[in-house]
């Protein structure tokens, strides 16, 4: 034990402690044994979604009247933390519950909430959000996918890439252009995929890490959806995206610090057991000093993440601070896991060791949700 593992976040409660224990047991049983299988299949088993729904681990911040847990972002953060700490980078609940569901909670009509949220909460539907395009990354104002009004329908044409839950998604929020160039012409249109003519899923993308996650390309060719599937108001999509991005970035930071702390603990355990030159690797001063520095830096990040969770639950997390915690937590995640891997020696490069998978999984954290270079730009605008 150490001051990092003994630490309890100030926003935790007895209820959240119980949720953490439930989540830990669920993922230890339903996720950890299947990492290799999912990596080979490039997706989790579909039944994992319904199992998570039955366990009450989906859409915890969705109001109870719509089938959710009736909690706050703190509940979502507990699930995200425990999943990431156990090394599960395959199950896309971070997107499903932490990103997609809040768009419906905040912007959907009453009819849409009743129609979609209960199925997301049960796992009957898997949610995804399609923002990124082959030629458009962080610059969401430049998207090309169009949704043109034709009577009582929208006709969608375009393509999206890097879509988490791309294989299983039954319900996709598609960021489309319904008007002129620039942010004022962007809207969010909800696509229900079952039997939908003109909708197709491209290849599962072969990533450096997160091998078990079904990240895919999506294609829309004259896809017709009812006009009532618009989410919120037409032309307000960019505003909605900007309002929700702070939570997405904070969620990434939660996963980052969880993976970082797990890597440190694995490395402490390994270096105390592994011997070199007749003594445990931990006995060398360089090892102890490296781990002392990593632990101290992780604690500093953890307290910043906790500060942001408290502010977000109180409705006070601003975009610049969310950008700052995302940038710092993911930068330190990549740096610290790299330092930990070094202490494993050659074994750290072997994929059967969790530290190697953590190293590969970490790198994308500095890219998605807005690159860390974009994060610094957003921070600087608030100075």
* Residue partners of 185: CB distance under 8 A and separation at least 6: 177, 178, 179, 235
Pairing between β-strand 171-177 and β-strand 127-130 as defined by DSSP bridges: parallel
For residues 203 and 215, give the distance between their C-alpha atoms in angstroms, rounded to a whole number.
Answer: 9
* Residue partners of 21: CB distance under 8 A and separation at least 6: none
pLDDT in tens, 134-183: 877 667 777 899 999 999 999 999 999 999 999 999 999 999 999 888 78
pLDDT at 90: 97
pLDDT at 357: 97
For residues 128 and 171, give the distance between their C-alpha atoms in angstroms, rounded to a whole number.
Answer: 6
Q: What is the dihedral of CA 93, 99, 105, 106, to 10 degrees?
A: 170
Closest C-alpha to 157, from 215, 216, 222: 222
Give Cα 186 distance to the centre of its chain: 23
Query: What is the set of active-site residues?
Result: 248
pLDDT in tens, 57-112: 999 999 999 999 999 999 999 999 999 999 999 999 999 999 999 999 999 999 99
Are 263 and 357 a contacting pair, CB within 8 Å? no
| Main-chain phi, psi angles of 265, to 5 degrees | -65, -40
Between 17-21, 141-145, 155-159, 194-198, the lowest mean confidence (pLDDT) is in 141-145
For residues 110 and 335, give the distance between their C-alpha atoms in angstroms, rounded to a whole number.
Answer: 45
pLDDT in tens, 329-351: 999 999 999 999 999 999 999 99
Walk me through the domains of the chain, giving residue ranges and CATH numbers. 14-125 (1.10.540.10), 128-234 (2.40.110.10), 238-381 (1.20.140.10)
Task: With H, G, I as helix, E, B as strand and everything else as coil, classify residue 275.
Answer: strand
Q: What pLDDT band is residue 239 in, cutting at 50, 70 and 90?
A: very high
Q: Is the pLDDT of residue 1 over 60?
A: no
């Amino acid at each position: 034990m150490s001051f990092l593992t003994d630490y309890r976040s100030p926003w935790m409660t007895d209820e959240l402690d119980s949720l953490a224990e439930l989540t830990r047991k669920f993922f230890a049983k339903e996720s950890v044994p299947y990492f290799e299988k999912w990596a080979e299949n490039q997706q989790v088993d579909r039944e994992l979604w319904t199992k998570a729904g039955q366990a009450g681990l989906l859409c915890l911040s969705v109001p109870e009247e719509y089938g959710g847990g009736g909690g706050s972002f703190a509940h979502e953060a507990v699930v995200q933390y425990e999943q990431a700490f156990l090394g599960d980078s395959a199950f896309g609940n971070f997107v499903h519950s932490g990103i997609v569901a809040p768009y419906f909670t905040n912007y959907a009509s009453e009819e849409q909430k009743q129609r979609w949220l209960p199925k997301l909460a049960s796992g009957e539907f898997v949610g995804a959000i399609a923002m990124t395009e082959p030629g458009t990354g962080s610059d969401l104002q430049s998207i090309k996918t169009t949704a043109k009004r034709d009577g009582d329908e929208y006709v969608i044409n375009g393509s999206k890439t890097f879509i988490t839950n791309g294989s299983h998604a039954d319900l996709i929020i598609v960021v489309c252009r319904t008007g002129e160039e620039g942010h004022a012409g962007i809207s969010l249109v909800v696509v229900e995929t079952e039997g939908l003519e003109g909708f197709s899923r491209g290849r599962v993308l072969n990533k450096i890490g997160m091998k078990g996650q079904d990240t895919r390309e999506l294609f829309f060719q004259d896809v017709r959806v009812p006009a009532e599937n618009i989410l919120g108001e037409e032309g307000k999509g960019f505003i909605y995206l900007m309002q929700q991005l702070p939570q997405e970035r904070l969620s990434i930071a939660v996963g980052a610090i969880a993976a970082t702390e797990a890597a440190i603990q694995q490395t402490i355990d390994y270096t105390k057991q592994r011997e070199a030159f007749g003594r445990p690797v931990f006995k060398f001063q360089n090892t102890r000093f490296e781990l002392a520095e990593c632990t101290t830096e992780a604690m500093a990040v953890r307290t910043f993440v906790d500060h942001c969770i408290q502010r977000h639950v109180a409705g006070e997390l601003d975009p610049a601070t969310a950008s700052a915690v995302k940038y710092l937590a993911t930068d330190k995640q990549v740096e610290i896991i790299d330092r930990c891997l070094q202490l494993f020696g050659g074994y750290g490069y072997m994929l059967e060791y969790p530290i190697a998978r953590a190293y590969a999984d970490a790198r994308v954290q500095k890219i998605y949700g807005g690159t860390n270079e974009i994060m610094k730009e957003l921070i600087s605008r608030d100075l």
